[in-house]
Amino acid sequence: MSQHVCNGATLQCSFGLAPATLTVLPTDRVMTSSQPAATIMDFQPIANIGPFGACMSIANPQVAAATSAAMGVLTPMPCIPVTVAPWVPGVATVTLGHKPSLDTNCTLMCMWAGVITVAVPGQFTHTIP
């Protein structure tokens, strides 16, 4: 079952060596779990999508150059995500500011062939004992 995503969610890239955090600015003024709720338009590199430590994709020119210099031994380089299109597919039945909301079924493509997914949606249920 999918969950809606909010600020502070943990992301993972298929070519990244570490998780990253999703930053959602409170522009749509919709909160969930006391955090701004995410939409498919929260895909901007650095502003929304943090770095994933190091990148291992040979499609990344920095990784390709470092690997070539190391005589073909894969050499990861610092990750700078390059995301140029919104998350897909989004939740068309739940819109925030006329934009589909983001849930844990959505994925985001990095220009360097990485597939970014939501590992932890950022929402937490608090129970009172």
User: What is the secondary structure of the chain as a DSSP string?
Assistant: ---B-BTT-EEEETTBSS-EEB---TTS--EETTEEBPBTT---BTTTB---SEE--TTSHHHHHHHHHTTT----EE------S--BS-EEEEEETTEEEPBTT-EEE-TTS-EEEEEE-S-------
Q: What is the pLDDT of residue 129?
A: 66
Tell me the pLDDT tens digit for each residue of 61-117. 999 999 999 999 999 999 999 999 999 999 999 999 899 999 999 999 999 999 999
- 123 pLDDT higher than 90: no
Share of the chain above pLDDT 70, in %: 96
- 125 pLDDT higher than 80: no
- 31 pLDDT higher than 80: yes
Q: What is the pLDDT of residue 13?
A: 98
